[in-house]
Structure formats: structure tokens, C-alpha cells
Amino acid sequence: MEDAIVKLTSKEGETFDVPRKVAMMSKLVKDTFSDDDDEDDEEDETEVKEVPLPNVTAPVLKKVIEYCTHYQDEEMTPIQTPLKSGTLDELVQAWYANFVKVDRNMLFDLVAAANFMDIKPLLDLTCLAVSILIKGKSAQELRQMFNISAELSPEEQAEAQRENAVAE
């Protein structure tokens, strides 16, 4: 049981062999198993399972597995909410703080993957990273940073401007 392997397949079809214990951090994977267990009793226990993850690309999946593997050795300290501090290093261990120092594309992909695979600590960590990115930025900066354009119609732009004026 301990050495059981789960095969995780990325969008591109690349397969990663992951120890069952590591893969089980994803609630999605866990649910797939328990669903099957209900149907086939204990028969599948030894069989190598394959879980397709059509929403996750290979590089992202690799990162996710890296996270889950490390988590087995050093559990991430739960993030206290409401947030007490503004920097990652004060909230989580160094390894985790470094883990999310990636470009924004990767960060958002990780958020999406963590959300899809339902890995709570990873979701907490990546969202924390995003919220730190957002912290203290003006609307204009946010728009640039997240490449938000033409999201507002002219009327809405005007309205936003008005709200801006009121707020400042």
C-alpha cells in the first residue's frame, strides 16, 4: 500500500508516477479513488491507477507534484487569517516562500491547478502570493499587472473614475 503508485496524466498526455500518499493530497484524486472503491470493493487496491488531469499542463503538474512531495517532509504552517503580516517569509517556511517566487503565468496556473485538483494548502499558499502581489496597488497598476484591458465600457470607466475621485 505504502509504495502504491498513482499515474497523473497532464493535458498533453505526459504521465507522472507519483506515490499514492503524495497524490492523495489532492482531494480530486482522493475522491476518484473512493468513488471507485465504492464500486469495486477492494479489488483495485493494488492496481496502478491513472488519473487524467485535462486542465493541467505538464510544467504546472510538475510544480504541483514538487509541492506535494515536499509537503510530506515538511508540513507547511497553516496560514493565519486574517493576514497578520505582509511578506511571505514571515508567514510560511522558506522553502514555501521560494516555491511561489515564479512568474505570474505560472502562479495563476498554479492557482487554477490547485483549485481544480483541490489541494487546500497549495491553494492557500498561491492565493497568498497573489494577494501579496495585489497589496497596495492602485486600480491602474492592477489593470496593467493583470493585463486587464477593455474590461470596462466607457460609461463604466467614467463611473470608476468618479468612485476614484470620491475615494481619494
User: Residues in the site for another protein, rule: CB under 8 A?
Assistant: 11, 55-57, 60, 81-83, 103-105, 107-109, 111-113, 115-116, 123-124, 127-128, 130-131, 134-139, 142-143, 146-148, 151-152, 156, 160, 163-164, 167
> Which residue's CB is nearer to another protein, number 22 or number 114?
114
Q: How far apart are CA 32 and CA 96, in angstroms?
A: 28
99 and 67 Cβ atoms separated by less than 8 Å: yes
Least distance from another protein to the Cβ atom of residue 57, Å: 5
74 and 120 Cβ atoms separated by less than 8 Å: no
> Which residue's CB is nearer to another protein, number 37 or number 89?
89
> Which residue's CB is nearer to another protein, number 20 or number 91?
91
Least distance from another protein to the Cβ atom of residue 16, Å: 16
> Which residue's CB is nearer to another protein, number 34 or number 81?
81
Crossing angle of the two packed helices 27-40 and 104-117, in degrees rounded to 10: 30
Least distance from another protein to the Cβ atom of residue 2, Å: 30
Least distance from another protein to the Cβ atom of residue 34, Å: 22
**Side-chain half-sphere of 126: how many Cα atoms within 13 Å?**
23
Q: How far apart are CA 101 and CA 44, in angstroms?
A: 39
Q: How far apart are CA 162 and CA 156, in angstroms?
A: 10
